[in-house]
Structure formats: structure tokens, C-alpha cells
Structure 1
Amino acid sequence: MRFPSMLALQALLIASASASASASRAEDSSDSLSPLQRRAADPALRTLSHANWTEQISKGAWLINFCTPTSSKCGEFERVWTELQKQKESLSTSYPAAPLTLAKVDCIADTALCRDVSSVPDLTLYLDGQKQKDRFQGLREYVQLSDWIESLAQNYRKSKKVSDVPPAQQQQQQPAGLPPAAQPSPQVAPAPQPQPAPAPAAPAPPAAPQKPAPVAGPEVPNAKGELMKFGSAQISDLAALNRYLGEGSRHGSSFVKFYAPWCPHCRAMAPAFEKLATELKGHVTVIEVDCEKYADVCRGYAVASFPTLKMFNNGEVTEYTGGRNLDAMKSWAQKAGSSSGVQEIQDMIELEEIVHRRDVVFLYLVESGVKKADRSLVEKASRILLTTQAQFLQTSSPALLRKYASYLLASDPNAKQGDSQNTRSAILVFKDRSASQPVKTFYPGRIAFTLSGGVQQHLQTGIQAQFSQQVVDWLNANRYPTLSEITGTNFGDVIHNKQAALVVLASLSDIHHGGVIAATGSGAHLRDAEEGALLQLARKWRLQENIRGSPVDGEMKEDGAGAKKGKKGKKGRSRKVIWAWIDADRWAKALKEYYGIRPEDLPSLVLVDGSKLEYFRLPTNHTALDGKSWLDVQPALGVGKGSTSSGSHPVFDTIYSALRGEIKASSSRTYVDRSMRGAEQTFSIIVDWTVRHPLLSSAFVLAVLALLISYVRAVEGGGAPGAGSWARSLAGGGQEASNGASLPHYHSANKAD
């Protein structure tokens, strides 16, 4: 709206596109329009303009969606809004005395109507032409918006003193013996009298109370918006809690806090957690369990520390590890508590729209012959992504199946026999906001085929767990972008990842570049160039790993425990590598403390092993000042002693050398932590030796005690050489000398200060 001429041009283009779409119903012409423009042309969806604005909103309640066709957020919200408009049409047609209508305004075509709109999409309520202050608080997803709209309609009907029962339904509930008022003919009136039979039919309307049926179905979770405590009437014991949180429960999702009253972190987060129950009213039940009082319950749920926060969703458990403030917990709980994280798509346009907005997108291709149980296992496994930035999509669309037919063919364990039976499936992952080609593929069918003994049959319960775990592990390993940005929120998730993957961590600054302090504008430009060079190197690494022949995802592999324990793998490539960068200006203190990185060292590159709290220096061109060549390193610098270069990038050679154990790692622990760990290891060695050699250790202890006793007796009797002077010094005779010896230490301590 800052450029009227551009807006006018865009409006003209969109208007012409809409006109051509409505004039031609042919499929080929509609394909040229975006989904947002095609849906805007749907006559069933109401759109207001400057021409009919005043006349329309002057009567009734109107919920207006102010949006623009060019906004990505509007495009993402369009599918939800379209469904809401169609499903909530009855709120307008069924209540003519108090209608609530949903409509949309195109802020490019009607800039005057959007003068007060600060951001899009914007949902604004108008009652009889008057703008209201009511604002939707929550995620723009169908269930929450649907409930909110229903409450708006109900409140408006109440203000107009209109019954919640539609007039048409009220007429149907009239007694059968009464004639309709619209029939004035007196000849019709006697007709019901000779037929008393309809009178007993009057009880039929009570049969209409099919409303009690939902009592046996799902309940509204957290209906009162109150914090529920274990030990209350509804969850009085462990068995009741298991039923409440378990699979098949009618209570919906539950967010549970396991805490101890003496825990300071638990006390600090208590007010936010109690308020969270109010914020999640009608969506997620909020429960707390006192582990001091109910220790057996917490042991049953494998609680190892306090506080422990877990989401229970129809038997599926997801642990929360984010911030303990209200906003962080609310945002996570709303997403993790949803019924499913799987979105169904139908065409390539939808896929491209989502991929262009997300750094990581998974697409589950499923043919019609795939068993429902197998599909359900994959969908449940995908819930691991609910608390991440990655999105999981699913499709059985013939168009998309044809588009990626080559991947489906490779997924078929019976491909050689030519007997697919439409039972093929594959999970593709797209990164870098490009849908042109997946960067990795996983084949669930191969896992199921192998686990079932080479026979296409229903997976047994134990095998189902193995199948799900393999899917979860693959999704977890591939959910990171090509290049992640490290923040305070995701530091632990990336550096201390569950896969024990190594992390190539770049420290980039807006100010410091190769020992030179740059101005604000030019420094930011250099930082962007450094990040771009790192992204290209990360892509090259991914390509090289694929070319080197990494195992096919979806085939049974050897146990990966060795990689997690840090054992050397074949060719030094048994562990995955994640690429990331961090703002060195904001986290300067932490980078110096953990990795010894100073401002004059920037930009810097290290290989971090979060599972061992170790790191390796990676080679960079420290003197580069153009931002792009800081990773242009001579091969000799990147190869560890005794190793041979693979002919690839020096950074890659150093990574392989580190994995093969050819170069020494540095500890990322603090000085105090290293000292404590050293003492702990020493004590552990002593204990282990004592356990292995009980007789020798007992003899050693007795010998030490005997020497100590004999020495004390000698001191008391004055018989030990030099013992008398030592005893006298303790008694005060050597006090002056003792004080003199301590002075240098005192001065040196002060000099150090």
C-alpha cells in the first residue's frame, strides 16, 4: 500500500486473471492461476468490495478476512478460510434475524477498505456496521477458529434475543396434530381428528435428542480452563491416570508437569504453568503431578529430573524441552496437542507453495494398496516433527505419484518380480525451499518387507515398534535444514542432538572479519557473503556423501550404537554431520568459553561433538575480506598428520580425519567442569581397581592405617625423627615461621588480583 501505482497494476492483473478464469471453465486455463486466485473466483465464497461494503455490513454480524493475493501468510491461511466460509454458511442462512457472515476483502483491489489494516491476514468483526475490538487469540487453524466463530455467532444471537435453534428446525418440532399456519383452508383441520394415530407419533421429536450420543464420544478437553492436580477425584490413582492419558481416552491431549515442591525451577515456572491451563481452555488439559507425594507415579512415567514436561496425545508421548515461559509452552502445546501433524495435499501447486515457505518439508507418497495399519504407523511416527520447524505432508494424488514415479519404483521390494500391487510408498524430503528434487528418500515398504520376513503381511506388535522407530530415527536425522541458525532456543537440540551427529559450527559476525572491524552496513554484507559460502559448502558435502555411497534409507542397516558411542566407522563416515552457524556478536562470551573463539578469530569454523563435549578446529582462510573466500583453503592445511587427502575440500578431509581419530580433540568444558570431571574419573578408577582387587585394596588400607597409628604414637612419645619439631610447631613453637611461609602466598594472591 506504499506504492499505489504498483497496487493498481497488481489489481488490474488479478482482475483480468479472475475474469478469464470465470469465462473459461477448462482445466488448462485454471491451471495458470494460483490456488488463491482460483479460490477467489469460486462463486460460493463471498468477497466484499468498496461498491457493496456499506450496504452489506450495515446489517448483521460480519467477520472479514483482510488479505492480499501476494502474501505468503494469506496463501497459507486461504485453505482454512475457504473451508470455514463453506462450513459456516449456515450461521447466515439459518438465522435470518441474527446472521453471522464470513467474507473476504482483497487489500490490493480495494486499498481504501484496508487503510487501517496493519498486517495481513487480519480478521475483524463488524456488528451492524460497527467495528468491534474482538480479536482472535490462538493459532489460525480450523478447529480453534471454528470454535471462536461459533461463540461469536452465539453471542450475537443472544444480543438479538434469537434462539440458538434455527427457525426451520423449530417448525419441524411442532406437534404433528397442529396444521401449518400457512394453510388457511378449514377443510384440512378436521383431517387430524379422525386419525388419533398421529398423536402417539408426538413422542417422535424426543427421539431427536441424538445430542446425548456425544457423551460416549470425545469430551471437550480442559472445558473449565483449570489446572488439574493428580490425586483429585477424576485422576485419583495411577490406574486412573493411565486411563486418562492412554490410547483411546476420550479426554483429548494432556500436558503434564511432573515436579517436586522443593525444586527451585519448578517453583519458578508454577505461575506460568497455572496460567497455561486458562490459555489452553477447550484444547489441551493441563495436569501436574507432585513427585514428592506420589513418587511411585513418577517412577512409572520414567521421570528422572524436575521439572519434566510431557504431552500425551492418544497414547503418543512427546517430551517438552523448550523454554518455561508462558508463550513458549503455549505455542508448543497448541501444536503438539493437535490431533495430527499430517497435511493432505492434492497437486504440485500446493507442494510448491508449502516448500517455498519451509526450510524442510517431508512428502509421504502412498499408493492405494498400502495397508491402513502401515500408513497409520508412519503418520504416528511423523508426530516427532510436531515440535520442529519441519512439515510432514501426505498424498495419494495420481498427479504427484506420476511426478515421483521413479522414487516409488525404487521403493518396491518386489520390483524385480513386477508384482507391486499398488503397495509402494516413499518419504521424500525437500530442503532449500526447492521442490525440484528431493535431497533424501526413505522407503517404509522395504522396512516392512524385511521385518515381516520377506512377505507382505500385517506387522506384529513387536515388529510395529521396530518399524516406527526406524521411521522416527530417519525423520529425526533429516529434519535439520541444510544450514541451521543456532539460537538460545535450539542450541541443545542441534549441538546435543539425539542422533549424536557432529555439527560443523560457523561463528559469523557483522563486525569482525579476518581481524578487521567493518562498518555496520558493509559488515552485514560480508556476513551474508560468508553465510552464502558456507551454505554452498554444506550442499557440496551432502552431494559428496550421496556420491560416496551412503546406505539406502529404508534398508535394514547394522546397529548404529557404535556411532552414538563415538566408535570409528568405516572410512570415518559412520556418523551424520549437521551444518550450522551462530551469531558471534550476540554469543561472544559463550563461544570464547566453550570453543576458545575470540573476536579476532572470526569468521571461525569448528567441528563440535556434543555427545562428548569436544571440538576440532576446521581450516579457514582467516585473511579473506570478501566474505566469499574465507573457506578457500589450501589442501595441505586440512589434512591431519599421517592421513592422505581424499581430493575433496580440505574442510571435508579434516572432518574425516577427526572421525578416524587421526587428530586430537579439544574439550569444550569449562575449567571448573574439567577439574570436577578429572576428579570424578580419578575416583572412578580407584573404585574400579578396588572392586577388581579386593584383597590387595584391603591390605593397602590396613597398611596405611598401621603406618598412621605408629607415626602418631611416635609423635606422642617423641621418638620419631623430626617428629618433635613438627609437634612443637603445632603447639605454637614454630608459629612465627609458619606465618612467614604463608605471606608469599598471600602476596601472590593479591598480586594476581
Structure 2
Amino acid sequence: MRLSSLLYFGAVAVAASSTSRKKAKVKEPTFFNGIQVPPMLELTPDNYEATVEETDFLVIKHFSPYCHHCLDYAPIYQTLYEYYYTSKPVTDEETDFTEFYKLRFASLNCIAFYDLCSSLKVQSYPSTTLYKNGTALETIKGVKGLEILTKAIEPHLEKAKPGSRPKVLNLPEPGDDETPPPPKPLENFNPEGVSIPLNATSFETLVATTQKPWFIKFYAPWCHHCKDMRPNWEQLGKEMQGKLNIGEVNCDVESKLCREIGVGSYPTLLFFKGPQRVEYKGLRGLGDFIEFAEKAVEAAGDVPNVTTRSLKKLEAKEDVIFIYFYDHATTSEDFMALDQFPLSVVGRAKVVKTKDPELAKRYKITTFPRLLVSREGRPTYYNPITPQEMRDVDRILGWMKSVWLPIVPELEASNAREIMDGKIVVLAVLNREESRTFQHAMREMKKAANEWMDKQIVLFQEERQALRDAKQQRIEEAEARGDQRAARQAKAIRINMDKSQRKEVAFAWVDGTFWQRWLRNTYGIDGTGGNRVIINDEDRRRYWDTTHNGGKILLSRAAIIETLSKAVASPPEIKPKFTISSFEKLFFDIRMSFVDHPYRSMGVVVLLVLAAAMWFRRRIRRGRASHFPRPEDGWSTKELMKEGLVGGGLNGNGKVD
């Protein structure tokens, strides 16, 4: 038994060894930065000792050909090897990098040469180890990027040859065949720290035809709001010195330029970067300006790459993150479309890109490129995935605007209409000063929001499946009758869930102290104490602030979900209150009847008009009639005498008193 096992493993090792030799013969040199790079050294028990003796530094990738992570790591390690092989040390000597440091890169197949890997104490694949004279100095486990790998190698090279390593490495992306061009030196924007007056000519040369970022105020000298904002705008220029160009355009003087740009009110604040622009609609305090300007400058740069670790750090700071997944086959056209997204959502969300296989696995991404939004770790996917759809910037931006709010955003003046209009909103009235109570309330609101969203997804899927089943049933019935025309019509039915009658439900919170007056005037409550929940239907001017038992809605997941389910029922199972008076409600109900039932309402109006016309016509006819009876009216002589209209009168003697 023992002999047979030895023979079996010996055969496997020989086969693997012969296979690796065949592969080595097939491999051809590659080119990096225009320099030919020989195939990487493949270690075996036969050449390991000699290689260690010939080198001072030896970097070895220990791998398994059947390991998926190793396959993902292969292009990273190959690029690392090519980058160092073609690099030049910082020295006056004309020398080869490999000879200067006596450094070699190699790979070791731990399936074919298990004993060698075992002797080197390799415990997982892939693992990369830097050896010096056969002694391990650094070991990096798993799939790591070039930045992490070079940080492990560089200190030891610098220690061996002091002053020979650059302070900053210009690293390529994995799979590239050249190093990227050195980063351009940062331009000293706004060197004077002032807001620069612009006219049509200077706007064209400094803003429109360049890729330089500008934040510009369009104003009129007589505008009171512009006058009030002027000190903050001037201070913004000082704060953005060396960071961002600040400008202003007098629309009384440059009226044509303002019309071409589409300025409709004063002041209008626009951030420009070449043909791209975004309007600032927030508050006009200095801190608000600075916060927007800094985010806009960051968004105007390149879309950052993220890994699992860096995304985790980013999620701790950002509520909403758009993640663009790409691979080696993603084209320049795809990236050109991607570059237009960050500036369009500045101040709302963060846009990043990734090719990290761990992130793709986490979000179950199998096709590339793909876009999703992560709101506090909860993904929502952009469904269109064809190449043309992934380059349709307007369509993607429309989707991004529909999902760029956090799961439970704060209601502010700048986003109130966006949150409240067209939705039923669960609004928590909180006091941010009471931190402990505030955090607990926010956790309950987020739990309720996530649970409700999960339920709506299930209902959406059930509704869609019911429509699909109905379509399939019509197809089967038509085919059973042999009615090909009906079968074609049934197959042509499109399942369109955009027309679903289910109203969207959103969650938000409001500072009860800051919005105290609005809460009192609208809902009749005192918001200073916080810890209240209101379910608001802005379109119907109605709201619920009590449960079906008449008590206040508690700030708990169970109470919110239970009350919300009854409020959104049709008709509502809890009687609503209204934010308008009874007199206003009368006219509002009439108007809403035309919105809900336009044809029925128009029919009622037509009937009322016809009835009024008939009544009016009869009154006119009666008014035009003579005071004297006509023969055709059929009055008898006796009736005429009784009325005193012919001889005889009332006293019977032919006289009338």
C-alpha cells in the first residue's frame, strides 16, 4: 500500500514537472515600457538552491494553478515583475536594475512541488515572500495590489542601496504594458484668493474652453439676495486660494452670456469643469459654500479605485456610494461615460470604481461593467446592462437622482420637496442634542425602513410574477384553441412594472427644535421634545400621528411598520388628519377627483352643465310667455269670467271693481 502511494505521488509530481517545463517552453518574452522582459523564473527543487545563491533578494509567488484567487493575482504579480525589471535605480551608474540590487522575481507551483513549499512553510495561496539570502523578510498573503507589494519591497532595497530609490513610485495598473505618465504638477488655482469678474470673452477663454474647475456667481447689482450673499462669496474666494477658481458675472452687463447659460434668477451659482456644470442650490452660508466647493473639486478629479478595505472605510464616512464594477474588457467609451457621473451627484453621493474580485463576489456581480448604489451597505442595482445602456449618461443620471438620498435622510430646506412630494413619508421628529436617544431612534428608523423595503421587494416580485403567470395563461389558452393571432398578441404583452399603483414610501427625520414652528403650524404638535412619528401624504394633504388605538406612534420598528401598513391601505384603516382647513379641503377634494378619476369627473361636469342649460332654457321660455291666455291654452269661459278677464267679473254683474 505504501509503495503504491509513493508511486502514485511520484507519477503526479513527474507529470506536473513535465507539464510546467512544457509551459515554460511555450512562454514568450513580454514588453513593458518598450523593453523586452524575459519570462519569469519558475522555481523547482532542481534550481531553487542555485537561485538563492545567485541573488541577494528573491521574491517568490507561491501558488496553486487551481486556486481562483491565484488566477486573479497572476496579472498583478506579472506587472510587478515587469515594472521592477524595467525600472532604473536613482544613480549615476548605467546599470541594470536586476544586477544593481541582485533581485529576481520567481513563481513556485505548490501543487507540483509540495515538498519544497512545505519546507518554506507556505500555509496559504497565493502568498508572496521576499527573501534575502534565503531568509524570509516579508510575507504577504492573499491578493494584494501593487501599492502594498511595493511598500513591502522598497524599504529593503533602500536599506541595501541608500539613496537609490525614488520617494514616490509611479505605479501602473495590473495588466498595463507601460507606466502611466507622471502626474501633472498641481496648478495654482485662484492665486490671489479673490472672486474674478468675468465677461463673455474671459468666460470663453478661461472657463468654457478649458478643463479647469470654476465656481461662478451670476448676479444683478440691484438684487437684494445678491447683496446679502456678497460678503460670504468674497470670503469664499479667500478660503479657496490655491484650490479653486472663484468668479462672478454681472448679468446686467453680460445679459447675452447669462441668457446663453440659462440664468433665470439671481443669484445663480454654477460649478463648471469644461462642458460639465452643476448648479448649487443649497444654503448660502460660508460653511455651506466651502463644503460644496471642496466636494466639487474632489469630484472633478479622477474616479477613485477602491478595494474591499478602502470601501469599508469610505462607508463609515459616506451614506450613499455609487460603485462602478469593471474588468479588463471595459472600454474607454465606458470610462468616458463614468467620468461624467461624479460632478452630477456632487454633494449628494460618492462615485467610485473597482475591479476587486472580493467586492464583485460580495455584490454578486457577474457581468461587467455594472453599476449599483450602496446606501449604508444596502445595494440597489441599475438594471440595464447592455453596452449601449451603460453608456446612456442621461438615463443613468436619471436613475442616480432617484436613489441618491440616504435610507433615512434629514429633512432640510434644500431637499424638502424632493423627499415629500409624490410619496408617503414616515417622518421622525427628533432632538439631535439628546445623543443617546437620537442614536436609538435612528437605529429603529433604519430597521423599519429596511424591513419595509424588503417587504416591498417581495410584493413587487409577487406582483410581477402574477402578471407573468396571467400572460402565460393567455398564451396557453390561445394555443389550446389554435388561435395563432391571439397567441401572438399575448406574447407581445410587455410586463411593465413602472405603472404599478403602489405609492412609494420614504423615511426621513427632522430636527424638532429647528423646525418647531413648521411642525406646529402644519401638524399642530410641539417638536421641541422630539420622539414623535408622523406619517405624511403630501399629495393628499393628510397625515397620521396616532395608531389605530388612538395613541402616539412610538419610535420603534414594530409600531412604525404596523401603523404604516394600515395608513397605506386602500382605503386607509386609520382615519387621517388634514393639513388644510375644511373650506380648503372642499376645493382640494374637487381638484383631486379630477386627478384620480378624470373621465368620471368630466362626465359629472357634463351632466351638470346639461341640467343647468335645460333649467335655464325652461325659465327663459316661461318668462317670455304673455300675461293673457291664448285660445290654444284651452281656458273655459267660466274660468275666464272667474279671473275677471271677460264680462261678468267677480261680482257677476259685468263690472269690475
- Unaligned 5+ segments in structure 2 are 1-128, 159-165, 171-181, 465-493, 592-608, 610-657
Give the equivalent residue in structure 2 for 1:442. Answer: 382
Give the equivalent residue in structure 1 for 2:500. Answer: 570
1:312, 1:259 → 2: CA distance?
16
| Contact 1:221–1:251 (CA under 8 A) maintained in structure 2 | no
Give the equivalent residue in structure 2 for 1:394. Answer: 353
The within-5 A match list for 1:131-170 is: none
Deviation per residue, 1:670-716 (Å, 9 max, x gap): x9xx89x99xx9xxxxxxxxxxx9xxxxxxxxxxxxxxxxxxxxxxx
| Contact 1:385–1:391 (CA under 8 A) maintained in structure 2 | yes
Structure 2 counterpart of 1:222, one-letter code: N
Structure 1 counterpart of 2:512, one-letter code: A
Give the equivalent residue in structure 2 for 1:606. Answer: 534
Structure 2 counterpart of 1:650, one-letter code: T
Q: Does 1:429 align with 2:387?
A: no
2:302, 2:566 → 1: CA distance?
40
1:292, 1:392 → 2: CA distance?
38
Deviation per residue, 1:267-289 (Å, 9 max, x gap): 01112212322332333222212
Partner SS state of residue 568, structure 2: helix
Give the equivalent residue in structure 2 for 1:274. Answer: 234
Q: Does 1:26 align with 2:127?
A: no
1:86, 1:476 → 2: CA distance?
38
Give the equivalent residue in structure 2 for 1:541. Answer: 452
> 1:504, CA displacement in angstroms?
2.1
Q: Does 1:333 align with 2:293?
A: yes
Which of 221, 227, 245 is 2:207 aligned to? Answer: 245
Which of 564, 571, 576 is 1:651 aligned to? Answer: 564
1:444, 1:369 → 2: CA distance?
18
CA 1:294–1:607: 2 relative to 1, 3 Å: farther
Q: Does 1:480 align with 2:405?
A: yes
Give the equivalent residue in structure 2 for 1:229. Answer: 197
Partner SS state of residue 253, structure 2: coil
> 1:252, CA displacement in angstroms?
0.4
> 1:380, CA displacement in angstroms?
0.7
CA 1:26–1:651: 2 relative to 1, 3 Å: same
> 1:44, CA displacement in angstroms?
4.2
1:615, 1:46 → 2: CA distance?
72
| Contact 2:320–2:405 (CA under 8 A) maintained in structure 1 | yes
> 1:533, CA displacement in angstroms?
2.2
> 1:319, CA displacement in angstroms?
0.6
Q: Does 1:323 align with 2:236?
A: no
> 1:621, CA displacement in angstroms?
8.3
| Contact 1:444–1:471 (CA under 8 A) maintained in structure 2 | no
1:256, 1:510 → 2: CA distance?
34
Which of 325, 346, 352 is 2:312 aligned to? Answer: 352
| Contact 1:21–1:30 (CA under 8 A) maintained in structure 2 | no
Q: Name whichever of 314-323 and 334-343 sits farther off.
A: 334-343
Partner SS state of residue 300, structure 1: helix
Q: Name whichever of 356-365 and 501-510 sits farther off.
A: 501-510
The within-5 A match list for 1:12-161 is: 25-28=138-141, 43-44=154-155
CA 1:256–1:526: 2 relative to 1, 3 Å: closer
| Contact 1:584–1:591 (CA under 8 A) maintained in structure 2 | yes
CA 1:528–1:401: 2 relative to 1, 3 Å: closer
1:352, 1:597 → 2: CA distance?
40
1:400, 1:333 → 2: CA distance?
31
1:382, 1:543 → 2: CA distance?
29
CA 1:607–1:40: 2 relative to 1, 3 Å: farther
| Contact 1:362–1:428 (CA under 8 A) maintained in structure 2 | yes
CA 1:661–1:391: 2 relative to 1, 3 Å: farther
How many residues are treated as equivalent by the alignment? 412
Q: Does 1:283 align with 2:243?
A: yes
Q: TM-score, normalised by structure 2?
A: 0.52
Give the equivalent residue in structure 2 for 1:742. Answer: none
Structure 1 counterpart of 2:425, one-letter code: V
CA 1:476–1:622: 2 relative to 1, 3 Å: farther
> 1:304, CA displacement in angstroms?
1.9
2:373, 2:357 → 1: CA distance?
19
Give the equivalent residue in structure 1 for 2:578. Answer: 666
2:156, 2:542 → 1: CA distance?
58
Give the equivalent residue in structure 1 for 2:126. Answer: none
CA 1:663–1:351: 2 relative to 1, 3 Å: same
Give the equivalent residue in structure 2 for 1:496. Answer: 418
Give the equivalent residue in structure 2 for 1:295. Answer: 255
Which of 508, 518, 534 is 1:590 aligned to? Answer: 518
Partner SS state of residue 242, structure 2: coil
- Unaligned 5+ segments in structure 1 are 1-19, 48-82, 88-141, 148-218, 410-423, 450-458, 512-522, 561-568, 639-647, 682-692, 694-753
Q: Does 1:377 align with 2:337?
A: yes
CA 1:623–1:630: 2 relative to 1, 3 Å: farther
Deviation per residue, 1:430-480 (Å, 9 max, x gap): 233x4xxx421114524725xxxxxxxxx9xxxx6xx21221122222222
> 1:664, CA displacement in angstroms?
6.6
Structure 1 counterpart of 2:261, one-letter code: Y
CA 1:619–1:664: 2 relative to 1, 3 Å: closer
| Contact 2:281–2:414 (CA under 8 A) maintained in structure 1 | no
Q: Does 1:617 align with 2:585?
A: no
2:323, 2:147 → 1: CA distance?
22
> 1:373, CA displacement in angstroms?
1.6
Structure 1 counterpart of 2:427, one-letter code: L
Deviation per residue, 1:590-628 (Å, 9 max, x gap): 211233222599633234456x59452254489989x97
| Contact 1:378–1:471 (CA under 8 A) maintained in structure 2 | no
Partner SS state of residue 141, structure 2: helix
Q: TM-score, normalised by structure 1?
A: 0.46
Instruction: Report sequence identity in percent.
Output: 19
| Contact 2:547–2:574 (CA under 8 A) maintained in structure 1 | no
Give the equivalent residue in structure 2 for 1:207. Answer: none
1:609, 1:342 → 2: CA distance?
41
1:38, 1:624 → 2: CA distance?
62
1:590, 1:262 → 2: CA distance?
31
| Contact 2:191–2:241 (CA under 8 A) maintained in structure 1 | yes
Give the equivalent residue in structure 1 for 2:393. Answer: 468
Structure 1 counterpart of 2:455, one-letter code: Q
Structure 1 counterpart of 2:218, one-letter code: F
| Contact 2:273–2:300 (CA under 8 A) maintained in structure 1 | no
1:245, 1:547 → 2: CA distance?
50
> 1:402, CA displacement in angstroms?
5.0
Structure 2 counterpart of 1:407, one-letter code: I
Which of 429, 437, 447 is 1:507 aligned to? Answer: 429
2:425, 2:251 → 1: CA distance?
36
CA 1:499–1:230: 2 relative to 1, 3 Å: farther
| Contact 2:445–2:557 (CA under 8 A) maintained in structure 1 | yes
2:148, 2:205 → 1: CA distance?
48
| Contact 2:213–2:274 (CA under 8 A) maintained in structure 1 | yes
1:350, 1:298 → 2: CA distance?
42
The within-5 A match list for 1:736-751 is: none
| Contact 2:305–2:353 (CA under 8 A) maintained in structure 1 | yes
Structure 2 counterpart of 1:537, one-letter code: A
2:419, 2:147 → 1: CA distance?
39
2:347, 2:431 → 1: CA distance?
29
